[in-house]
Structure formats: structure tokens, C-alpha cells
Amino acid sequence: MEIISKAEELVERRMRGNDASHDAAHAFRVRDLALSLAHQQGLSSSPHSMLIVELAALLHDIGDYKYVRDPSEARIVEEFLQGQGVQDEMKIKILDIIKGMGFKEEVGEVANRNYSIEFGVVQDADRLDAIGAIGIARCFTFGGSRHRVLHDPRIQPRSDLSKENYMNKEEQTTVNHFHEKLLKLKDLMKTKAGKERAEKRHKFMEDFLKEFYEEWDGRA
């Protein structure tokens, strides 16, 4: 489909300068995961829903606040969809998924808001790519790109997170990110398929951290 090819080209072009934690390969993995989850959740009978899922997954990190250099970049996806002639109803659904799927949007919420099944599979796919073996690799890649301290036992993970202080990571270590976000994602999955897949990846992170702390303290 031409619009998918165009979206892939946009992803390659706009994410080329990002570090490997949020590069085009990440977007393509999320797309593949989202389509797989969508099939498991019974969306494959609706080409309309599958196109929403694929486009939202592909385009979800274009304009990410962590990499935006110019405020105008926040409109790139909207302008792309308009330029491709995407109908307003579908465009709004895709943009709503992208704007609402970040962890920072859910920090501090008392209860889950209403969400569509398309939103659920795209968000779950993005979160699955943030945990497990790839999630560990991405976490340390991002931390290294920002010159963060690897680990410091004197700096404890924050428990009183709001959207604002979650986004302020100046004093935080890379390992603390596991406790502040990554270990919480399993319980925030929206779909049955996402929950099932998250179990193995979550356990892998727990085992990794156990070994990490033992090696850090000279116990292993």
C-alpha cells in the first residue's frame, strides 16, 4: 500500500539522527508487534482498523519531545496524513493514539481512561518493545546517549511521580528507570494479548536486575 511505503520513508528520514533506542528500527518493531497483537485481538477482519494501527505504530515517535529540535516538528505527522488524503475521522483516531499513548500521559492517573482497541494494541506494542531483552538494550542505549550515571545506590528511584517530575530526569540513573517505568508496564497493558506477552519480558528484566545488583555489590 502506497501510504504505508510513504510512512516508512518518513520514519527513516525523520528518525535517522536519533540514538538506537528510538530509531526507525524501533518504529518498525512496534508496527510488527502492533499488527500481531491486532490479529490476536480479532481486528484483522477490519482493514480500516488495521490501517489505523499500522500508521499509528509507524508514526508514533515522530515529534517525540525527547528528540524535538523545532516546535514545528509536532505537526509533521498531521501534515503527512493530510498530504496523503487520509479522511478526517481516521486522521483524528491516529493522532489521538499517538498523543495519548506515552507513559507520561498515564503517570499519576487514578484510573484508566476509556480507550479504543486500536489504541490498546499500539500502546501495548510500544510498551512491549520497552521491556525484555530489547527493552534493557534500549534503556542503556538511551541512558548512555544522555551521559547518565549507570547506577548509584545513593540515588533512590522516585515513588511520587507526576507527569512533570517524571519528565525531569536530570538527577536520575539509568537503572532507576527500570523501577520508575519499565517494571510497571506489565500491569499497564491494555489487551489480553499484550498482557500475555509482557509476562516473559517482565520476568527477564527482574532476573537481569537481580544479577546486576549482585555483580555490582561483588556478590556474584
- Which domains are present in the chain? 2-216 (1.10.3210.50)
Amino acid at the residue 1: M
pLDDT at residue number 110: 47
Q: Do 92 and 116 contact (CB within 8 A), yes or no?
A: no
The DSSP-derived string for 132-145 is HHHHHHHHHHHHHH
What average pLDDT values come out for the chain (220 residues) when binned by 10 residues? 97 95 98 98 97 98 84 86 97 96 76 83 98 98 96 91 70 93 96 98 98 97
What pLDDT was estimated at residue 92? 97
Q: What is the DSSP string of 12-30?
A: HHHSTTS-GGGSHHHHHHH
**Residue written as grid cell 488524503:** 85
Which one, of 192, 167, 190, 193, lies nearest residue 180 by Cα? Answer: 167
Q: What is the pLDDT of residue 67?
A: 85
| pLDDT at position 109 | 59
Find how far residue 7's CA is from the centre of its chain. Answer: 18
Q: What integer pLDDT is reported at residue 72 of this predicted model?
A: 72
pTM (predicted TM-score)? 0.93
Chain-centroid distance of CA 208 in Å reads 20
Q: How many CB atoms lie within 10 A of CB 169?
A: 17
Task: Report the alpha-carbon distance of residue 176 to residue 158 in Å, rounded.
Answer: 8
Q: Are 37 and 191 in contact (CB under 8 A)?
A: yes
